[in-house]
Amino acid sequence: MHTTDLSRRGFLMATAFGLAAPGAAFAQATDWKKLPDAEWRKRLSQASYMVLRHEATEPPGSSPLNKEKRKGVFACAGCGLELFKSDWKYESGTGWPSFWTVNKGAVGTKTDFKIGVPRKEYHCARCGGHQGHIFDDGPKPTGLRYCNNGLALKFIPA
């Protein structure tokens, strides 16, 4: 079962069987994927809005999260879904926060052809907000690099 396609009944069943995405709160009543554009503009800074809702990319090296070393979690800046544990972050040298894995069920993917070659884009499973792209040049054990826009994340210290 994919948490990206859950109805209310499906969400309750997934929660009961432990299949709901990490950070999915039982009391969460917001249907994040149906929020109107005007509401997203109110909730987010202009820069975060452009990344999360219109798949923009922040300049490399511009995110303060590149230097974040504390224990905690990195959550979607749009809806708060916990995407990454701080232990999964590493310095990729790319200029964007990078992680070698993601919380199970926390993201959905699609193929992006915006630069003329196929790339695997990932987005928040709860609100659909654009996070970044997945590359196969990461460290062990996965060999993956989740290259994330810092503007699409918020850090929650442990």
Q: Are 97 and 89 in contact (CB under 8 A)?
A: yes
Q: Are 119 and 112 in contact (CB under 8 A)?
A: yes
How far CA 1 is from CA of 5, 32, 48, 104, 128, in Å, comes to 8, 19, 30, 12, 17
**How far is it, in rounded angstroms, from Cα 97 to Cα 95?**
7
Neighbours of 135 (CB within 10 A): 16
Is residue 147 flagged as an active site residue? yes
Please pick, among 79, 124, 127, 147, the residue that the annotation labels catalytic. Answer: 147
SS3 content of the chain, % helix, strand, coil (to 5): 25, 25, 50
Catalytic positions are 147
